[in-house]
Amino acid sequence: MSETPSPGAPETPGAAGFDDMTRDIAEVPAVEVIVTVAVNLMSAAAVKLGLTEEGDKYKDLDEARKLVHALAGLLDASTTEISSFHAAPLRDGLKSLQLAFREASIVPDEPGQGPGEKYTGAVYGK
């Protein structure tokens, strides 16, 4: 059975919106998508680390660990795909998040065992 509706058939609600989104994303360069995802991961990690105005309200170090680790993996995998213009500030942000995680942890991870350190190497606090 064909997935394509016959001419004159009523459209499925939301189908036109999906087509518009597909067209929109098709026009976005890959570097922009990668950077946007990285910034979203950074923002979510900052919230889970309690670094926002709300502070401890949303703090969850287990969730923060996952987000920081995912960010490090994304940056490691995309290093050769994005320019240093984009990569340098993202790496700086990642290191800041890793340090914030280390400071927030009651029982700190061993050097090289913190979130994302598999990709970045050990991050040392003050």
Q: Name the token pair of 115.
A: 């979130």
- Whether the CB-CB separation of 81 and 34 falls below 8 Å is answered with yes
Residue 44: what pLDDT? 98
Residue that the structure tokens 């709300």 belong to: 54
C-alpha–C-alpha distance, residues 97 and 46, integer Å: 7
| pLDDT value of residue 16 | 64
Q: What does the pLDDT read at residue 126?
A: 61
94 membership: H or E segment, kind and range: helix 84-104
pLDDT of residue 2: 44
Radius of gyration of the chain (CA): 20
What's the pLDDT score for residue 13?
56
User: Residue 13 and residue 3: Cα distance in Å, rounded?
Assistant: 15
The pLDDT score that the predictor gives to residue 15 is 61
Regions in the chain scoring below 70 on pLDDT:
1-16, 21, 126
**31 contacts: CB under 8 Å, gap ≥ 6:** 81, 82, 83, 86
Amino acid at 45: A
Q: How far apart are CA 92 and CA 98, in angstroms?
A: 10
